[in-house]
Structure 1
Amino acid sequence: MTGKTFIAPLAPATPTKKTPEEAPATPEAVRVEPQLAGGESWGDGLEAIKSNNVVVGLNLIQPAESHACRPARASDEDLNESREADVVVEAPLGPLLFRGKMPTSRILCERAGSKVCVGKSRGKKCVVKTFSPKTAAAGCRELVLLKAAQGPRIVQLLGAAFAQTQPTIVMEFCSRGTLDDAVRNWLDVRGARRVAAHVAEALAHLHSLRPAIVHRDVKPKNVLICRDGSAKLADFGLARPFPGRTANDQYVMTGETGTVRWMAPEAFRGDPYSLKVDIYSWAMVAWFALCGQAPYAEKTLKDLRRTHLELHDRPPLKGRPTNSGVASLLSLAWAEAPGDRPEAASLSRALAPFSVKRRRLLPFW
């Protein structure tokens, strides 16, 4: 009898319940109006992007019907068209976030609600701007716009921190100070033309963004000089997202915003204005860099108001250290009518030959 080998079937494995894997936390937009977790208001239009209850970014939302920036148009139809979409500026911070308080040393400047100091980040000098709880909303808006504005001619954002509801902005340290310091101490005509070209490049970059950013406070103290003599635009405290589609679109924004000697006439009067307010301020800053003195230095605030509103005077160009090409650009850029001023991109292209640092050649004989 032939033996048979029986192979017992394997018992079916007892099914085990699979525990569902926890999905990683994804950042979510959380409205923080009107109160923060700490009880301080961030102001209208701010959104905190949070992951695991940690702020990893900010959004700035400017409603289309906002009174602060509404189109200067007559017809209701045009006004309705402008309300189709809000202006949103996103600022993901992620790896730029610092934990805790930034160590600082000497104070560079101190204003109501903010303090700018020299600090250290990863072993290198940096600039630390800290805001008080009362100006937290303004600090967050400045942080959002500085993050969105990053470019070669904009002061570099190194990081941010939120300690006890006080926002802190950490920026690069520009070792040669402000344009104001440079003009008073060492800047020559060649360097002044280069600075003027770099500020024009910064404005061309800001105005090309979508949404565009209008700086509204272009002045010598907000132009920083790096070690190699290049210039960068800083201080976005008065900057705002600009909803217009072209540089000539005019919007009703806060009047008399900026610094008087560098302010465009339409902003001085409180009229609707456009991106061209920055072009006018550029012209005044360039004239200051080339000529070594502030425009209208001898005039009081009352005289300046009359100069802007009645006389339409401009600083003199005759006998100044400006070549004919730069002089013609200045006269166009500070034109009374905003539509007569060039766009920042055109200005930057015209000044491109001055942008590069040229070495002085020694004679070969």
Structure 2
Amino acid sequence: MTTETTVGLDKETRDIVKATVPVLQEHGNAITKRFYELMLEDHPELKNIFNLTNQRKGDQPKALANTVYAAALHIDNLEEILPVVKQIAQKHKSLNIKPEHYPIVGKYLLLGIKDVLGDAATDDIINAWEKAYGVIADVFINVEKEMYKAVQNSPGGWIDFRNFKVMKKVVESDVITSFYLEPEDGKAFPAYQPGQYITVKATIEGQPYTHLRQYSLSCAPGEDMYRISVKREDPMGDNPAGIVSNFLHAKMEEGSILPISAPSGDFVLDQEDTRPLILMSGGVGLTPMISMLETVIKEQPNREVVFIHAAKSGNIHAMKERVQEITQTHDQVTSYTVYDSPSAEDVYDKEGHIDYEWLANILPTHDAAFYFCGPKGFMRTVYQNLRNYHVADTDLHFEIFGPAEDITA
């Protein structure tokens, strides 16, 4: 990749880009916030793609800024950021981002830089960044092209969105409901890897744009259907109710049609690894963990598994009966429940939060594969505890929307 993608950039251009990265990082959130404002004002149709909730929270501008600046910092050797490129490309594939979107993004990113930095953004700087963005965009386009091709060539695979019918709707807890999905056309559809997600396209009455949301598949591959388990996001503080989650809970019934993308994501269970598997989830982060648990008991029946789930209380703890059933019928599996605010009727293993002392007491070894998913605060705590437990970086697996530094800092 290095020789092909950076050969068109002269040394002066690369030096300017690398020299200006610290300045742009300092103003990164302001630049990308302005970029989105300008772009969506001129191209409102892109509101059908971008998650406007993440815009409001600032997650999306922050994620974009960090990606672009990391790429610029490694402009001499973009191989360095290939793992990050592939992870983001999975998201882009799920959202059906196309090559024609990249020039639009590039144009408004440069306008955002000029708008925020003013006279400090000289013609030389803007020209250097324009060239660098072209190189970075080509890397993403090429990686995504291969991913789209792989999906299209898989049995039953498809590009863009395909209509699936809700075959069953199951209330799992006070806030989580599962939707079982099969293709409306009755034709084949691809298997997936445990931990992957699909994108749902919601067309909601009274909303001028469609809304795209990504939900992990919560059952094991090979079940002849897809299942997503969706938490209803109720209003909290400054955050309004989740538009899509409330729509799904209130409007999607058995027989309803839901357009979805093909499965994506690289946060997947490594089934070549035979060491103990530690699955840790908080709240609705349970969904990819359940898929991994259901998979490992089928495919690796001798692999030791520790399953830890943290929730506020029993009434919002989804799928607890299924985990109990698996634990009772599979000697390889041990499970623990942690409740922050349990009721008098709740049965659990620990009250409060996961902490280092408790983890060190229940975990079989630090030489294991650790997968964890949940709210950022939960993931930050788990990450720090596992680092203190001397787990190798290569054995820590997690997925987050936004910068990994939100968890690892």
Do they superpose with TM above 0.5?
Answer: no
Q: Which has the higher helix share?
A: 2
TM-score range, shorter-chain basis?
under 0.3
TM-score normalised by length of structure 2: 0.24
TM-score normalised by length of structure 1: 0.26
